[in-house]
Chain A
Amino acid sequence: MTENTTSVSLPDDHVSASAPTSPAKDVLRRLLRNPAAVLSGIYVITLVLVALTAPLLARNGHGTGMNGLISHWNFDDIDTHYSSLPAPPDSIHRLGTDNLGQDILCRLIYGARVSLSVAVLVVLIEAFIGVSLGLFAGYGSGIRDLLLMRITDVMFAFPDILLALLVVAVLRSGNHPLPPLLNMGGLIFALGVVAWPGLARLVRGQALALREKEYIEAARASGVKDTAIIWRHLLPNLLSPIIVSITQDAAGVILAEATLSFLGLGVPAPYPSWGRMIEDAIGFKDTYPLLLIAPCLMLALTVMAFNFLGDALRDALDPRLRQ
C-alpha cells in the first residue's frame, strides 16, 4: 500500500501528514488550494508588475505628462489638449483618449502605480503607528492602555474617510496651492493617520492575551528585558494577525484614495487616479461610456482581489479562524 501511494500524486494533506513542512510552506499550500486566492494573487502580482513597469508599458504617455511618475513629471504638456473632446479607441490609443487628449490605457496603468504606491505607504504608516501603540498599550497596560482605548474611541466615533477628508481639506486650504508632490504626501499622511486605530486595538488585544502566556513569563523571570521580549517573543507571534489585517486594510485604503480623488480631494492634479478618472468621465457618460467603465472596472477588480486575498490569508495563516 505504502509503495503505491508514493508513486501516485496525493492530495496535499497526506503529504503534510507524513513529512513535516515549514510553517511558511504550509501557509502557501493552503493558499494555493483556494482558487479565489490564486486568481486574486495572480491579479495582484500582475498589477504590481504593471505598476512597476508602467513607463515601459505605457508608451503612449508622450504629450500627456505621464513619462516617469513622481521623479520628473512634465506638467507643461497637460494643458495643450485642453477643451478637446474624448476620442474613441484607435490603433495607437487602444482605449481612446480623454478630454485632455490623454491616453486612457496609460492613465489606467499609471493609476495602478499611484493607487498601489499610496496603499503601500499608507499601510506602512498604519502598521508603524498601530503596532507600536498597540504594543505600548497592550504590554504596558494600566494608564497607557486606558489612554489608547479612549483615543481609539474618539477616532471610531468618526467614519474614517470623513476624517481623512477633513485633514486633506485643511492641508490644502492655504491661499497658495501646494506643489503636487506635497499634496500627495498630505493625502498619504491623512489616510495613514486615520487608519491605525483598528490595528492598534487588534495588536493591543493580542498582546494582552500573549502577555499572560507561560513562555513570556518564563522569559521575564529569566531576566530578559522588556524590549527584547517584545521584539523576540511578542512581535513574531503577532505577525499573522497583523499581516491579515493589513492586507484587508489595503483594499480599504485603495478605495478611500479613489473616493477622495473622486470627490476632488485625493490624488492631486497631474497624477492619474482611477477615482478621478471616474469623476472626469461622468461628464462624458452619454458619448463615451468606455471612459467611465474602464476605471470603474479596474477599481472594483482591485478592491475585490485584495478582499479575497485578505480573507484567504486569514484562513491560511490561522485555520482555527475558518468558519
Chain B
Amino acid sequence: MIDFDQVVMNFGEKEVLKDISFSIKSGEIFTFIGPSGSGKTTILRLIDMLERPTSGNISIEGTDVSSLKDRDRIPIRRKMSMVFQKPSPLRGTVFDNVAIGLWFRKVSNEEIKARVPEALDLVGLKGYENRKAGTLSGGEMQRVAIARAVSTKPDILLLDEPTANLDPASTEKIESLISALKERFGITVVLSTHDMVQGQRLADRIAVVIDGRIGQIGTSKEIFYHPMNKAVANMVGVENIFEGVVATNEGGLASIDVNGASIIATTPLPTGTPVILYMRPEDITFHLIDGVKSSARNEFTGRITKVLPMGPNARLKIDAGVKLTAVITQRSYEELDLALGKEIGLAFKASAIHVVEQRSS
C-alpha cells in the first residue's frame, strides 16, 4: 500500500535519508523506531507528500507520487491524515479544529455536525466541542489532533512521535486509541517513535531507522531478539554483543569461543565461522554459588563491577571472563545479598543467544 524504492532525501548538503526501501501493507501498524534525528519524521513527511524525495520512487496505493504535481497530490493526500509530534491548535474552538479537514473536503454541514462529536468521543473528549483549542493541555490537544486526523476517515494514519511530549497517563490513552483505530476501522497506521517499548507494544512490524538508513524490518520479536547487526542491537537494547568463532557444532548446538570463554548457542553455522552473538540483559538469571545446577546450558561465575538502580530493577555489569550486562529485580538483588565486587553465579539458555555470521566489511 505504501512502497519506498531506493528513496534518497537531501536537505542541502545534508543526506537525511540514504537509500530507503520498504513496503507497508494495508491494515497493519508499522512503526519506525530510531533515535532523534535518524530520519523517521522525514519518512512520514515523504509519505504525506509534504516533501519530495531527492531520488527514488514512492508509491501510495499503486500510484507513483514522487513526480506528481502539487495539485494532483491532494486527492491522494486526502486519503491520509498526519498527526505531528507537536500538535498545532488552530484558532477557534475544538469543534473548528476537528471540522477543518471536513471543511477542506467540502463535506456538508449536517455531516460535519455528526462526525465531529463522533471523532471527539473516539478520543475520549466528548463534549469538548465549544472549548477554545488554545486552552487545552498538551495531552488533550494531541487527542484533538488525532480526532482531527480521523474525522476525515483516512485509509492511512501517520503519527509522528505522538506521545513524545506527553505524561504516562496520556501516553497510555493514545496508545490504546491507536490499537483501537486499527482494530475497529482497519486503518493502516504508520507510527514513528524513539521509544522501542512503545514500538513493541503497538507495532505489527517495526523498521529500525539509524542514521538515515533502515537497519532492519521485522516483527517486534525478530527485531528485539534477532537483531541483524550491532547498530540495531544497540538501538533495541540488546546490550550483550560478543564476537567469537564457532569452535564445535553438533546438530545445531554450537560451542562458540569468545575471548577464551566458551558459550553454547543454537546455530546451523559450521565450525570455524566467525560470528557475532547477541543476548538481551533480561535473559541472564542469577543464583548463589552453591553447586546447584541450573537447566541453562551456559553457567558462569562473575564479579559485579557496576550497579545501576533503575526503578524496580537494577542493571548490573559483570565480569565473567566475558563482560556481561544483566537486569535483576531490586527484590532479587537484595535476597541474593548482592553488592558491588561480589561473586555471583549466572546462567543463560543456549536459545537466548542470537548468532549472526560475521561478514568482513
Do A and B form a real pair?
A: no
